[in-house]
Amino acid sequence: MKNILIVSDNHRLTEYFRSEFESQNINHVANAAYKYSSINKDPSAMKGLGATAIDMKNPSDVAYAKENFDLIFSLHCKQIFPADLVSSVTCINIHPGLNPHNRGWYPQVFSIINGMPAGATIHLMDEHIDHGAIFAQERVNISQADTSLDVYEKVIFAEKKLIKKYLIPIISGDLTAQRALPEGNYNSIKDFKNLCSLNMDSIGSLREHINLLRALSHGEFKNAYFLSEAGKKIFVRVVLEESSS
């Protein structure tokens, strides 16, 4: 029996992963434990799934993972796995981006802006972020009416398809990862925050401005903003609706 650890801060995908793990009878060949990252500010939903906290910056927690598990999945984990862990245990990332395009934070946001492909990737983890040999990918299309949230939901759906199709081959070792040759590009959380601070004197096409605003519109999240004369943030998000004809 293999011992598998799933570290996730996304309860929807964790619940789906667990349901597939059970429905495909993977629990006959492997044991699964579920954790969420210690920096998760609202882990209540993950706790409801029976998950407990783990800190990837804590040496004792990393040692626990190395000593007790044969395979570790990162499923939208908010913490970066340390190099010591990924070099000692097979670690696999289920990533909401189409590597190597827009590696890093919020891939769908940057895909809307820079036009690079969006999608989902399952890949081996190495010491670099969202980097390593690829098991499988699923591309999603971005329409002109899509906001960040719209694209994100498409990516979640694509990730579920990949989990359903490739979970058994990956766990059994029957699927070989292929090296991704181009390095692609990387976007940090700082890059995202810089986007959110709108420059009211920015010069560009209307297309560029709408793309920026829809890329930063994600449901009720307060992302894009500009400063009022009083120095207060005024948040902006757009609603796009495609006609039926």
Kindly tell me the burial class for residue 59, based on how many C-beta atoms sit within 10 Å of its own C-beta (0-12, 13-18, 19 or more): exposed
Note if the bond before 96 is cis, omega within 30 degrees.
Answer: no
CA distance 233 to 245: 38
Q: Beta strands of 83-208 (E only): which ranges?
A: 90-95, 103-104, 118-124, 134-140, 186-187
Kindly tell me the burial class for residue 47, based on how many C-beta atoms sit within 10 Å of its own C-beta (0-12, 13-18, 19 or more): middle
Is 95 one of the annotated active-site residues of the chain? Answer: yes
Q: Catalytic pick from 11, 28, 76, 95?
A: 95
H/E run at residue 226? strand 224-227
Active site residues per annotation: 95
